[in-house]
Structure 1
Amino acid sequence: MPPQNIAITKTTQKTPKQKISHSDKSSNSDESVFFSSKQSAVFRDCEIDFVLTSRLCGVSTPPYHSLNLAYHTRDNPTNVAHNRAKILSTYFPQKTLIFCNQIHSSMILACDKTDYDKATDSAQNLQNQHNLQECNLGQGDGIFCTHKNLVALILVADCNPVLIFDCVNGAFVALHAGRAGVCAHILTNGINTLLANGAKTQNLRVFIGASIRKCCYEVGEDLAIQIQKDFGKKYIEKRSGKYFLDLILMLLDECDRAGIFRENIEVLEVCSCCEDRLFSYRRAYKESRGQKAQIRSQKTSESCEKTLIQTGRFGLFVSLR
């Protein structure tokens, strides 16, 4: 169980269970949005907006159907640009999208005005077609932003999308926090980035979006033993001879150590592997095992196996008001 006083937000099968303000009717009916700041118990009154997307209502074809937001998949880049432009034009019009090449690190990238000119040629070409203004900041797994005309995008398909917001100074860090990033303390790096830019711990608010949870996040015995050795036994749960990792508890404990007030932390209680409205690499892997068995029975090249584990990415879009 998470520590007391943390806002645990659940969703129903169709729409999030939170009370929706009258200004959120459009997003509530938009199936491309899984959750938003307007539904958040912690962020709804803050000067920041975020949208956590679903996998629905895009243009990508299987296995990326349909709102895939990631260029680094084998999806058609034009489809990805269309999907990104759909969210940006609807919820963040006239703003520039910033993102990074996520590498499972603990690196935080800062964005300044010169980054407007860093978009790749391919992205510029797509921009002309879809009226999408975007900029790739380079390799990293976190984005620090203080500009109201920018929208940060974090891509996930089981990893934790995390937002840390300084509600006094109007700055935020958006994080891609998978197992490697969590173990490398990317959350602490994000908090320290804000503190170094004038934030105070008591003014920080944290949102942890949908991700793979301990119900589904099975890890190997060697990794489980290493996690227990490095971080403690409580983060590993053993069931029926298998080991399951609780990244949410690791993140919450890290928030505690940093001094984040528990009432300023919100966790979306959704497992991406269980929720079919979200992309999940682990679910795609499980589904591919049956296909692999069929391929082997037909004596098809085993090189086909790697192409089977393909899925899209949903995203956390964040922008200051």
Structure 2
Amino acid sequence: MTAHTRTTSGAHFAFTDRWGGVSATPYEELNLGGAVGDDPAAVLGNRARAAAELGLDAARVVWMRQVHGDTAVTVVGPWAADEELPEADALVTARRGLALAVLTADCTPVLLADPVAGVVAAAHAGRPGMVKGIVPAALRAMTELGAEPARIVARTGPAVCGRCYEVPAAMRAEVAEVEPASYAETSWGTPAVDVTAGVHAQLDRLGVRDLAGSEVCTLESADHFSYRREGATGRLAGYVWLD
């Protein structure tokens, strides 16, 4: 159900696949997205299952309302039951044991941790967000809490790869003007964008050195949700927290 890694310094990173949940078609099985049309009870059940597998309290996992923007929100605890989720594409916290979650279904999930400062962040980097600078925004919010880029551990999860993310030539040029590393070509020779490569380039320029990414392409993998492949589908989640 989840790929979970823990560094020797106590940072945890986890990414889900689509299996092990209770959602029905077309969201089968482990849909963790609450705004895609799935039964809310199934989503809550899936979130509880994923949290339990990771040894987390589902009530201590913080979610956000993602809008492909550049807003990073610093949090100190879970939202109240009657509180509306904020519009944001990155969450940051200095509370150990508080897990931050990001939803994706082709976009790049970005998980960041500075174990020394005790600061973590989860960011949603789709093409628009990568261009707007959501990853630098998350880094800025982390540094305001005492994090240092040279200490940050960064992990990116399953996302559509540059060999599959076909876009019009004009769009590729526009994106590459902002982030040259995102310039790509599909495996069949047409213009493409590599969002993950763009994110990695941004992190590298910001001084993050401990950087690794998933080799899973969501569009190619039947074990992962892909909006580009399926349209109506579920959402994967990435989680980050510190012991």
TM-score normalised by L of structure 2: 0.92
1: CA distance, partners of 2:192 / 2:131: 15
Query: Per-residue displacement from partner, 1:136-183 (whole Å, max 9, x unpaired)?
Result: 541101010122342211100001111111121111110011101111
Q: Which amino acid aligns with 2:67?
A: I
Deviations 1:171-202 (A, max 9, x none): 11100111011111111111111112212221
For 1:163, the equivalent position in structure 2 comes to: 111
Q: Is the 8 A contact 1:98 1:136 kept in 2?
A: no
Range that drifts further, 45-54 or 266-275: 45-54
Q: Of 56, 63, 67, which aligns to 1:99?
A: 63
Cα deviation, residue 112, structure 1:
2.1
Which residue pairs with 2:88 in the alignment? 140
Provide the secondary structure at the position in 2 that maps to 1:164. strand
Question: In the alignment, residue 224 of structure 2 is paired with which amino acid?
Answer: L
SS at match of 1:176: strand
SS at match of 1:51: strand
Q: RMSD in angstroms over aligned alpha carbons?
A: 1.9
Q: Residue 131 of structure 2 corresponds to which residue in structure 1?
A: 183
Distance 1:45 1:149, change over 3 A: closer
Work out whether residues 68 and 126 of structure 2, in 8 Å CA contact, stay in contact via their aligned partners in 1.
yes
* Change beyond 3 A, Cα 1:274–1:197: same
CA 1:240–1:52 in 2, change beyond 3 Å: closer, same or farther? closer
Residue 250 of structure 1 aligns with which residue? Answer: 198
Match of 1:153 among 93, 96, 101: 101
Deviation at 1:241? Answer: 5.6
The Cα of 1:234 is off from its aligned counterpart by 6.5
- 1:37 corresponds to which residue? 5
Post-superposition CA distance 1:23-66 (Å, at most 9, x none):
xxxxxxxxx11x2114xxxxx31312232111001100000001
Secondary structure of 1:139's aligned partner = coil
Match of 1:53 among 16, 37, 40: 16
8 A Cα contact 1:151 1:318, kept in partner: yes
Q: Which residue of 2 aligns with 1:29?
A: none
* 1:73-222 map, 5 Å: 73-94=36-57, 96-113=60-77, 115-117=78-80, 119-120=81-82, 137-222=85-170
Please tell me whether the aligned partners of residues 164 and 172 of structure 1 are also in contact (alpha carbons under 8 angstroms): yes
Q: Rg: which structure is higher? A: 1
Question: Per residue, is there more helix in 1 or in 2?
Answer: 1
Return the offset for 1:92.
3.1
Distance 1:311 1:110 in 2: 29
Gaps of 5+ in 1: 1-31, 39-43, 121-134, 285-308
Deviation per CA, 1:207-251: give whole Å up to 9, x if none.
Answer: 011100011100112212212333338713266562111122211
TM-score by length of 1: 0.71
Tell me: CA distance 1:75–1:196, structure 2 relative to 1, closer, same or farther (3 Å): same
State the aligned residue count: 242
Question: Kindly, what percent of the aligned residue pairs are identical?
Answer: 28
8 Å CA contact 1:227, 1:233 repeated in 2: no
Aligned equivalents of 2:236, 2:189: Cα separation in 1: 32
- Amino acid of the structure 1 residue aligned with 2:32: L
Q: Is the contact between residue 181 and residue 197 of structure 2 (CA under 8 Å) also seen in structure 1?
A: no
Q: Which amino acid aligns with 2:18?
A: R
1:315 Cα shift? 0.4
Deviations 1:242-279 (A, max 9, x none): 21111222112212211222xx1111111111111110
Question: How has the CA–CA distance of structure 1 residues 78 and 37 changed in structure 2, closer, same or farther, with 3 Å as cutoff?
Answer: same
Aligned mates of 1:196, 1:318 — CA distance in 2: 19
Partner of 2:36, secondary structure, is coil
